[in-house]
Chain A
Amino acid sequence: MTVGLPHVLTLAALLFGIGLYGALSRKNAVHVMMSLELMANAVNLNLVGFSRFVTPEAMTGQFFAVFSMVVSAAEIGLGLALVIAIYRRKRSVELDAVQELKG
């Protein structure tokens, strides 16, 4: 029973799929943000797996994962700030409440 790069990639693909389902199906903005974080997490897992199996000396994937974490931390901070700004204006965080641009 050996574990290799295909196992890591399969796990990351499954996590990404679950996050994609959540991001598409949820009506609550906070839950959508959490699903996006799950997807970013799966991508980071992919990067670390590739880094370990393909270029372990250069650690390129690990550095990519570090910067990806920085960007997703900024994203969750700004996204939740936006959720609170929408809540102040609409008294709701339902995505159905924000449809001014709907034709």
Chain B
Amino acid sequence: MSTTLPAVAFYLLAFAALYGAISMMSTRNVVHATVWLLEVMLATAGLYLVLDAEFLALVQVLVYAGAVAVLTLFTVMLTLRRREDAVRPFPTAWGSLAIAALFTGAMLLAIRGFCPVGVEMPAIVPGIEAFGRELFTTWMVPFEVASLVLLVALVGAVWWTGGDDR
């Protein structure tokens, strides 16, 4: 028993993600780039839904679209106060472009050559209930470590951005 992905939804979301990423790189305004990053994150949440990962889609919208985009916008507003700071000259970085193109080409060749499974995918989808049960039994210890990591990151961020009197 096997099914395939819904092709139309996948191609629409893939186009949205790629268009957002390219626009993020081609815009000169950092604020616009942040909004394009938000669009890429939302398109990726849609891709997670297509791939039957409902919980991850929710977390993606909450964490990336909700927290990361707002945090990035706050930082842009705090550090680039004048308008001419936010509108950047377009960088001429042929070396970076060559490295990124080489890496992407190598990855595409590797995918074409060595991808283990084809278009058929198993029809079994455990759903969000089984996901929660797995998360709080099998993955309990990594879950607790993850909460500790977030706590330490929170304290560290407060310490670094704290007042000048230290």
Contact = CB atoms under 8 A, between A and B. Distances in A.
Interface residues of A, number: 68
A14 B18 contact: yes
B146 A77 contact: no
Contacts, number: 233
Interface residues of B, number: 85
Q: Interface on chain B toward A: helix, strand, loop, or mixed SS?
A: helix
A57 B41 CA distance: 26
Given A25-B91, A56-B125, A74 B10 contact: no
A41 B44 contact: yes
Q: Give the 5 A-B residue pairs with the shortest CB-CB distance, closest first.
A: A4-B119, A17-B104, A25-B93, A74-B153, A24-B96
Interface of B: 4-7, 10-11, 14, 17-18, 21-22, 24-25, 30, 33-34, 37, 40-41, 44, 47-48, 51-53, 55-56, 59-60, 63-64, 67-68, 71-72, 74-76, 78-80, 88, 91, 93, 95-97, 99-101, 103-104, 107-108, 111-112, 115-122, 124-126, 130-131, 134-135, 139, 142, 146, 149-150, 152-154, 156-158, 160-161, 164
